[in-house]
């Protein structure tokens, strides 16, 4: 049976290199066995890693969301900003759009997994780092600019159930991380895929999810703009590589 040291499997998987110099393979390892091993095992390994990292990002965002709400709930009402605009007054409450809004939770996880799976190792590492920094940045801004979601007096049954059974917090408003975490992977997908439908459809759906934050009165219009700006800013950092940008600025 062909057995390879774990370190070499890690090196091959993470850096897409041939075996390191000086590494010899046991005589029992035939060329066909090696090809079969890496063709079938490598993708499964990558999928497992991406699943774990996607779960970590989701858990980290949930933790930040919880902490922001706990912190902001201690602020006096007079310190909370009113972010209502004319746009918010014009857009009516449309309870049926909960289908789009809550599907955003699945979208931001599933599409993030699909997109990250398509990236090379350098893009992959940058994406994880950018995700973490973006979530932290959003949480800090939400604490510095505390506000309350514009929930109407009467909500649909589904929305009421989510608020009471799943999450009952309305302080993590500006910027909307619901919007940012949908727009960001959709933008990465624009560069990761060559197929036009895979470029356009996720972005259109992310926009619909963003609009549903207004029609369901989960966020103000300014929250939406803040979420879009945050996603585009960090997509810019991811796409153009912040280190390279800093070097160019210094030069």
In this predicted model, which residue has the larger pLDDT, 185 or 15? 185
Residue 42 lies in a domain: yes
Contact assessment for residue 185 and residue 111, using Cβ atoms and an 8 Å cutoff: yes
- Dist. CA 171–CA 63, nearest whole Å: 14
**Number of domains observed in the structure of the chain:** 1
Confidence of residue 51 (pLDDT cuts 50, 70, 90): confident
Q: What is the pLDDT of residues 145-174, one digit of tens each?
A: 999 999 888 888 888 888 787 666 788 899
pLDDT, residue 77, reads 87
Domain assignment present for residue 107? The answer is yes
Q: Which pLDDT belongs to residue 86?
A: 96
- Inside any domain, residue 22: no
The answer as to whether 84 is a domain residue is yes
Residue 23 has pLDDT above 50, yes or no: no
Rounded to the nearest 5 degrees, what angle is found at the Cα of 241, between the Cα atoms of 200 and 59? 70
Q: How far apart are CA 208 and CA 158, in angstroms?
A: 19
Tell me the C-alpha distance between 142 and 61, whole Å.
Answer: 13
**Residue 147 phi, psi (nearest 5):** -150, 175
- Cα–Cα distances in Å, from 226 out to 36, 127, 219? 48, 20, 11
Position 30 pLDDT exceeds 60:
no
- Provide the pLDDT confidence category of residue 42 given band limits of 50, 70 and 90: low
Radius of gyration of the chain (CA): 22
Query: What's the mean pLDDT in 110-121?
Result: 89
- Strand, coil or helix: 11: helix
Work out the pLDDT band at 7, boundaries 50, 70, 90. very low
In a domain, 13, yes or no: no
Q: Tell me, what's the pLDDT at 89?
A: 95
The token pair that represents 145 in the structure block = 């600019």
Q: Is residue 237 in some structural domain?
A: yes
Distances (CA, A) of 151 to 66, 96, 125, 168: 18, 15, 38, 12
Residue for token pair 């046991």: 26
User: Which pLDDT score is estimated for 98?
Assistant: 93
Tokens of 155: 């909500």
The predicted structure's pLDDT at residue 53: 87
Q: pLDDT band for position 47 (50/70/90)?
A: confident
In this structure, how many other beta carbons lie within 10 angstroms of the beta carbon of residue 220?
Answer: 25
- Which domain covers residue 164, as residue numbers? 37-250
pLDDT average, residue stretch 168-196: 91
pLDDT band at 9 (very low <50, low <70, confident <90, very high): very low
In a domain, 190, yes or no: yes
pTM above 0.85, yes or no: no
3-state secondary structure of 74: coil
């Amino acid at each position: 049976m062909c057995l390879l040291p774990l370190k070499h499997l890690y090196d091959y998987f993470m850096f897409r290199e041939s075996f390191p110099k000086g590494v010899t393979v046991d005589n029992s390892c035939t060329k066909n066995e090696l090809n079969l091993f890496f063709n079938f095992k490598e993708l499964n390994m990558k999928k497992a890693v991406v699943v774990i990292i996607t779960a970590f990002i989701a858990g980290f965002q949930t933790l930040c969301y919880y902490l922001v709400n706990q912190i902001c709930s201690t602020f006096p009402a007079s310190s909370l900003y009113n972010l209502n605009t004319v746009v918010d007054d014009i857009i009516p409450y449309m309870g049926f759009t909960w289908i789009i809004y809550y599907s955003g939770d699945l979208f931001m996880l599933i599409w993030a997994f699909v997109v990250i799976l398509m990236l090379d190792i350098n893009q992959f590492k940058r994406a994880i780092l950018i995700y973490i920094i973006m979530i932290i940045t959003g949480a800090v801004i939400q604490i510095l600019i505390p506000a309350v979601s514009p929930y109407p007096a009467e909500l649909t049954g589904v929305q009421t159930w989510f608020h009471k059974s799943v999450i009952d917090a309305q302080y993590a408003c500006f910027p909307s991380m619901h919007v940012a975490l949908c727009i960001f992977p959709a933008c990465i997908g624009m560069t990761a895929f060559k197929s036009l439908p895979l470029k356009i459809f996720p972005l259109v759906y992310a926009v619909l999810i963003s609009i549903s934050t207004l029609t369901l009165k989960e966020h103000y219009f300014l929250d939406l703009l803040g979420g879009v700006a945050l996603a585009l800013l960090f997509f810019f950092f991811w796409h153009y590589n912040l280190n390279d940008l800093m070097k160019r600025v210094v030069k």
